[in-house]
Amino acid sequence: MSTQVATLGEAHPRQYHGLLDWLTTTDHKKIGIMYLVFALINGWFGGSLAGLIRLNLYNPDWHIISPALYNQLMTMHATIMIFLVLMTSFAGLGNYLVPLMIGARDMAFPKLNAFSFWIMIPAALMLYGSFFIAGGAAQGGWWSYPPLSSLQYAPGHGEDLWILAVILLGIGSIMGAINFLVTIIDMRAPGMSWTKLPLFVWSWLVTAWMLLLALPVLSGAMIMLLSDRWLSTGFYRPALGGDPLLYQHLFWFFGHPEVYIMILPGFGMLSHIIPAMSRKKVFGYKGMMVALWAIGVIGFMVWAHHMFTAGISGAARMWFSMASMAISVPTGVKIYSWLASAWGGVIRFTTAMKFALGFIFTFVIGGLSGLMLAVVPFDIQVHNTYFVVAHFHYVLVGGSVMTLFAGIYFWFPKITGRMLSEKMGSWVFWLFFIGMNWVFMPMHLLGIDGMSRRVATYRPEFKPMNQFISEGFIFMLIAGLLFTYSILKALTQPKDAPDDPWDTQAIERSLEWETASPPPAYNFAEIPQIR
Amino acid sequence: MEPTPLTTSSTLTSGALAAKPAGAAAHLDPHLHAPVPSFWPILLAGGIGAVFFLVFLVYLGVPLAGVLLAAAALYSLVAAAGWANTIAVERRLMDRLQTQKDLTRGFFFFLASEAMIFFAYFEYIYYTRFTGSVWPPAGMPKLETSLPAVATLILVGSSFTLNFAVKAFLRGKQAAAKNWMLLTIAMGIVFLGFQGFEWGYLNGVMSFTVTTGAFSSAYFIMTGFHGAHVTVGLLMLSLVYWRMEKGEYNRDYHMSLMAAEYYWHFVDIVWILLFFTLYLF
Amino acid sequence: MNWAMIWLFQSAQQAMQAAAEQGAAAPTRNPFDAPGSNVARLAAAESWHAFLWVIPFILIAFILLVVVMVRFRDKGDGRQPAKFHENNPLEFAWTVIPAIVVALVALHSYPVLHFMEYGGNNPAVNVEVIGHQWFWEYKYPQYGIDISNDTLVLPANQVVDLDLTSVDVIHGFYVPGLGIQEDALPGRLTNQWFKAQAGYYKGQCTQLCGVNHGQMLIDVQVVPDNEFQAWLEAHRSQPALPAPSARLHLPGGFMQYRAAQKGINQ
């Protein structure tokens, strides 16, 4: 026994410093921070692409950006935002918080955890590098539908690099999912039964399950796409008896769960933030948990609502319409439960809470448009128009990004030991909230009025609205700058955050608030026992 | 009605959990995974990234890319082996039963994700079959089933021999276990030989190649992907045999033996489905 | 052909020309403000129906949000937070009632969907719409007309049936004023029917199809029957093509045509 104690006493037999420390770390907290920093950097790249897109659309006659480059920007904006920003930042917060919340010292496979992060770097290099090769980056949209992504219509090698990068990112995500699943199943502190699991951990369990089952299908579809390009196989080539529509089925079998992968951890975070800021316990814990699983299961049965106009059969349209509507029910349960969590509370309007309540507003709008899109006769009217662009930006920017802001403001003190400026935070919130609604709300109208998505130019009647939208982007840009400045400024200050800055003592709280801010390398001096 | 609380400070029996100096209050507990820094993850990630990029360069026909690809693949294998070795060393300091449980569970989740990749291919072939009007597609030869049927019997048989090997091992009959293991490996190699012959026959004699049509593409990618899995399975079995030879397993610790067994059964089940789908159905 | 006929055709052509110029200058019509076909009217009505059923739940959420923010904010008066954290009847209600409502909304749309899909029997005019990078080709097999990169001319108040396919990548045929959108896929035939009012309708490709996707516009001119006949007369240049290879109104059928469509695609 004495030797074992000694072993733990030197918990770091080889301790590196500086850069080497970060390169070799297997500490879930450091990996989580790297994920978050990486996501912020990519957020700036992806956001800049959005800025260029809005600049080009400011006037249909400017043609500042060639249509080919426009398609590259649009494709990469989506790819970066989805794979390198949203998934990455949720993975970062999940990495940081899940072991803390379940009272563990690390993930189940700390080295695999580091691998999941590092594998993103070559993928990102391939994605960004593809801008600089002949023919430029991939131009087929993030769906990369064949035949547009086939060798015949996309002869440039950006498409090849894109496919390889997506497969690499898939490998990392699958490994991450396995790690989360095993960690949550096996490494809970003694006494932490399933019904005592914090909701953020539940949300990551469901997310990991969706990642595990959805991403391999994308990899399979991508391998077939690549072999069509490289080996002249006939998977998606009608001339050889293949079918491009099948790619769409495979892609959206991944693609729709992916949408929930990008929002469920956010749901989980809100279930911590809203009760904490209302000084109340979360309302309907079991309902919240069941709703997460309902989304995690039904989410696999709705994929073809992305294909309502692709010529699928009437019966399929009916089924997918019903299933897509059904998924709004658990989502609604969550919205109402959050409102009930705040009901009767004593609410502190911190920045985190502002983002959380702002999220409810924007996400409900995104949910409403989503419900409407599940009604096939309506969907046919606006499918692949700016209405859909508005819808998914409401759920991804108004949904996921707002929860991320809320989560960062809430847990930043825990992660860094420093408080973010609430004064600047208020500005970040209002600028972002106004800018986000300014940009995306009019897109609903543009879509209903008949402006197609993914276009580099448009009919003259859409010009005033597009100019209005592009102007709103400035608000989001300033919010982003201010947010980044706020983080950098906080990092230069001395560590002043208490262990529990939000005073969650009064309500039930998850375990991360029980340890120091920032937590020591081993998280807890003693593994907590939960009664 | 007071429902079960999540976790409150009052439900914690251990009192204050705030940071204490490491070592002072520490005692070894079953959940301990002290984060040990390691170069292997970043080295392997770099290797796999390089493999992907070099595959692309080989496709472009860049000179020397093939050599570099082989080097990168070898490097990745070395990194993976180094990683595995580190884990084996570290596990000696940890609760092996706990890590064994974690690894086994992780391996099952890994198999689930593998199954989902095959699911994509099965979805492809059944979708094409049931929604296309022309089946079999033009240019599709009647696939000869007798030889693949023998191959199937061999692979299914190898699942049984492997099972015998594991049972013998658990009963402590090391020699019998090793013999059954060798037989399993041999049968796997024979199966691969059958597959190679079948590919050569279809490609050469029947002019049935990857580019013939959607069915042939699916045929080759599915059997090829499965063949790759058989190869990986054979590598795992060989490694296990080697470790058996070195006497590294005992009744409690034989996680990699079980993993190789499950992997082999998985590959076997996939083949049965493949055989049914591609040859019989 | 006597001069009266010529005069009739010429005046019809002039009327079309004028309508086209006027229509091209006007903004794109949308199915909610100015539905131009039976399909658009139905879809718009169905959309409003769904919207009205769903909107109460959204409004409840908004109202609760405002109430929460105003009533329960920390006013610094030492008020203690409430202790409740579950209410089974309430949770049951907000699960079951929305479930029933969305199921009813979905079910209500089924007959409309079915009609939109299978209602267009015995079309008066059949047009094969073929997507190219980056223009549309319209074939009228009954009349032997094949035009490209031009306005699609159709008769008013008659069942028009579009069979869509593509020769290269996937395109999306979208004319909001007519309430129609359907992808044109290589190797497949998709189908869309409607009965339109006279007027000028603008649309565009909705499925990313390459660099000029944004400029792949659609113009449809729906004209009274006599003008349509005049237009046919003016464009009839070759003997009638064989009848369309496949009719697409068979229930559930969307892939049976792969063999049959080869005449179009290759």
- Determine contact: C165 vs chain A, CB below 8 A: no
Question: Is B106 within 8 Å of A11 when comparing Cβ atoms?
Answer: no
Chain B positions touching A5 (Cβ under 8 A) are 23, 26-28
All residues at 6 or more sequence positions from A442 whose CB lies less than 8 Å from its CB, including other chains: A390, A465, A468, A469
Q: Provide the pLDDT confidence category of residue A14 given band limits of 50, 70 and 90.
A: low
Chain C positions touching B132 (Cβ under 8 A) are 255, 258
List the end-to-end C-alpha distance of chain C, in Å, as a whole number. Answer: 39
- Determine contact: C171 vs chain A, CB below 8 A: no
Is residue B6 scored above 70 in pLDDT?
Answer: no
Chain A positions touching B211 (Cβ under 8 A) are 231-234, 240
Cβ pair A112, A106 in contact under 8 A: no
Please give the residue that has the higher pLDDT: either C9 or C240. C9
Question: Is B132 within 8 Å of C85 when comparing Cβ atoms?
Answer: no
Least trusted range by pLDDT, from A405-414, B32-41, B75-84: B32-41
Question: Is B131 within 8 Å of C86 when comparing Cβ atoms?
Answer: no
Tokens standing for residue B236:
């795992």
Count CB atoms within 10 A of the CB of residue A147.
26
Mean pLDDT, rounded, for B62-91: 92
Least trusted range by pLDDT, from B150-154, B158-162, B205-209, C130-134: B205-209
- At C154-181, the pLDDT tens digits run 999 999 999 999 999 999 999 999 999 9
Q: Let me know how many helices (H) and strands (E) chain B has, helices first.
A: 7, 0
- Determine contact: B131 vs chain C, CB below 8 A: yes
Mapping DSSP to helix (H, G, I), strand (E, B) and coil, where does residue A456 land? coil
Quote the pLDDT of residue B139.
64
Quote the pLDDT of residue B132.
66
Is residue B18 scored above 80 in pLDDT?
Answer: no
- Determine contact: B211 vs chain A, CB below 8 A: yes
Mapping DSSP to helix (H, G, I), strand (E, B) and coil, where does residue A475 land? helix
Q: Which of A242, A310, A452 is facing C183, going by the closest CB pair?
A: A310
Question: Is A8 within 8 Å of B26 when comparing Cβ atoms?
Answer: yes
List the end-to-end C-alpha distance of chain A, in Å, as a whole number. Answer: 27
Domains detected in chain C: 8-73+88-266 (2.60.40.420)
Interchain CB contacts (distance < 8 Å): A and B = 318
For C200, the enclosing helix (H) or strand (E) is strand C199-205
Question: Is B123 within 8 Å of A253 when comparing Cβ atoms?
Answer: yes
Least trusted range by pLDDT, from A46-60, A117-131, A504-518, B185-199: A504-518
Please give the residue that has the higher pLDDT: either A18 or A145. A145
Question: Is C255 within 8 Å of B131 when comparing Cβ atoms?
Answer: yes
The second-level CATH assignment, the architecture, of B95-280 is Up-down Bundle (1.20)
Chain B positions touching C257 (Cβ under 8 A) are 133
Any chains having at least 3 CB pairs less than 8 A from chain B are A, C
Mapping DSSP to helix (H, G, I), strand (E, B) and coil, where does residue A153 land? coil
Mean pLDDT, rounded, for A494-506: 86
Q: Provide the pLDDT confidence category of residue C1 given band limits of 50, 70 and 90.
A: low
* Helix A386-395 × helix A422-448 angle, to 10°: 150
Quote the pLDDT of residue C254.
32
Measured CA to CA, the distance from residue A226 to residue A163 in angstroms comes to 7
Question: Is A376 within 8 Å of C62 when comparing Cβ atoms?
Answer: no
- Determine contact: B259 vs chain A, CB below 8 A: no
Quote the pLDDT of residue A420.
95
Question: Is A196 within 8 Å of B7 when comparing Cβ atoms?
Answer: yes
Closest-CA residue of C relative to A239 is C187
Closest-CA residue of B relative to C257 is B133
Least trusted range by pLDDT, from A273-277, A396-400, C67-71, C187-191: C187-191
Look at the block and give the residue holding tokens 């299961």: A297
Question: Is B49 within 8 Å of A121 when comparing Cβ atoms?
Answer: yes
Count CB atoms within 10 A of the CB of residue A225.
27
Q: Provide the pLDDT confidence category of residue B158 given band limits of 50, 70 and 90.
A: very high
Q: Which of C85, C254, C259 is facing B134, going by the closest CB pair?
A: C259
Is residue C247 scored above 50 in pLDDT?
Answer: no
Measured CA to CA, the distance from residue A111 to residue A109 in angstroms comes to 6
List the end-to-end C-alpha distance of chain B, in Å, as a whole number. Answer: 59
Quote the pLDDT of residue C9.
77
Could you tell me the CA-to-CA distances from B146 to B149, B151, B153, B198, B280 in Å, in that order?
5, 9, 11, 11, 11
Cβ pair C131, C171 in contact under 8 A: yes
Quote the pLDDT of residue A331.
95
Mean pLDDT, rounded, for C181-208: 93
Any chains having at least 3 CB pairs less than 8 A from chain A are B, C
CA distance A97 to chain B (A): 15
Chain A positions touching C85 (Cβ under 8 A) are 280-285, 341
Give whichever of A495-504, B127-136, C167-176 has the largest mean pLDDT: C167-176
- Determine contact: C74 vs chain B, CB below 8 A: no
Least trusted range by pLDDT, from B11-15, B267-271, C30-34: B11-15
Mean pLDDT, rounded, for C88-110: 95
Of all residues in chain A, the percent with pLDDT exceeding 70 is 97
- Determine contact: B60 vs chain A, CB below 8 A: yes
Closest-CA residue of B relative to C188 is B132
Chain B positions touching A251 (Cβ under 8 A) are none
Q: Which of C85, C86, C258 is facing B134, going by the closest CB pair?
A: C258
Q: Provide the pLDDT confidence category of residue B101 given band limits of 50, 70 and 90.
A: confident
The reported pTM is 0.92
Please state, rounded to an integer, the average pLDDT across all residues of chain C.
85
Chain C positions touching B3 (Cβ under 8 A) are 85-86
Least trusted range by pLDDT, from A119-123, C4-8, C254-258: C254-258
Least trusted range by pLDDT, from A511-520, B4-13, C240-249: B4-13
Cβ pair C204, A459 in contact under 8 A: yes
Domains detected in chain A: 26-254 (1.20.210.10), 263-520 (1.20.210.10)
Please give the residue that has the higher pLDDT: either A12 or A314. A314
> Which amino acid, A224?
M
> String of b and e for C40-76 (b: at least 16 CB within 10 Å)?
bbbbbebbebbbebbeebbebbeebbeebbeebbbee
Is residue C249 scored above 80 in pLDDT?
Answer: no
Is residue C257 scored above 60 in pLDDT?
Answer: no
Chain B positions touching A174 (Cβ under 8 A) are 110, 113
- Determine contact: B209 vs chain A, CB below 8 A: no
Least trusted range by pLDDT, from A206-210, B190-194, C1-5: C1-5
Please give the residue that has the higher pLDDT: either C92 or B90. C92
Cis upstream peptide for C134 (omega within 30°): yes
- Determine contact: B6 vs chain C, CB below 8 A: no
For A464, the enclosing helix (H) or strand (E) is helix A463-491
Chain A positions touching B123 (Cβ under 8 A) are 217, 249-250, 253
Measured CA to CA, the distance from residue A486 to residue A426 in angstroms comes to 11
DSSP string, B71-111: HHHHHHHHHHHHHHHHHHHHHTTS-HHHHHHHHHHHHHHHH
Q: Which of C163, C182, C170, C169 is nearest to C245 (CA)?
A: C163
The DSSP bridge partners found for residue C199 are: C222
Please give the residue that has the higher pLDDT: either A313 or B14. A313
Q: Provide the pLDDT confidence category of residue C251 given band limits of 50, 70 and 90.
A: very low
Q: Which of C58, C65, C84 is facing A368, going by the closest CB pair?
A: C58
How many residues are recorded in chain C? Answer: 266
> Which amino acid, C173?
F
Question: Residue A530: what are its φ and ψ, rounded to 5°?
Answer: -110, 130
Quote the pLDDT of residue B129.
83
- Determine contact: B104 vs chain A, CB below 8 A: no
Q: Provide the pLDDT confidence category of residue B95 given band limits of 50, 70 and 90.
A: confident
Closest-CA residue of C relative to B4 is C85
Of all residues in chain C, the percent with pLDDT exceeding 70 is 88
- Determine contact: C114 vs chain B, CB below 8 A: no
Question: Is B113 within 8 Å of A215 when comparing Cβ atoms?
Answer: yes
Radius of gyration of chain B (CA): 24
Mapping DSSP to helix (H, G, I), strand (E, B) and coil, where does residue A492 land? coil
- Determine contact: C85 vs chain B, CB below 8 A: yes
Q: Provide the pLDDT confidence category of residue B134 given band limits of 50, 70 and 90.
A: low
Chain C positions touching B134 (Cβ under 8 A) are 258-259
Is residue C246 scored above 70 in pLDDT?
Answer: no
Mapping DSSP to helix (H, G, I), strand (E, B) and coil, where does residue B35 land? coil
All residues at 6 or more sequence positions from C133 whose CB lies less than 8 Å from its CB, including other chains: A153, C168, C169, C209, C210, C212
Quote the pLDDT of residue C17.
84
CB within 8 Å of chain B, chain C residues 237-256: 254-256
Question: Is C213 within 8 Å of A346 when comparing Cβ atoms?
Answer: no
Please state, rounded to an integer, the average pLDDT across all residues of chain B.
84
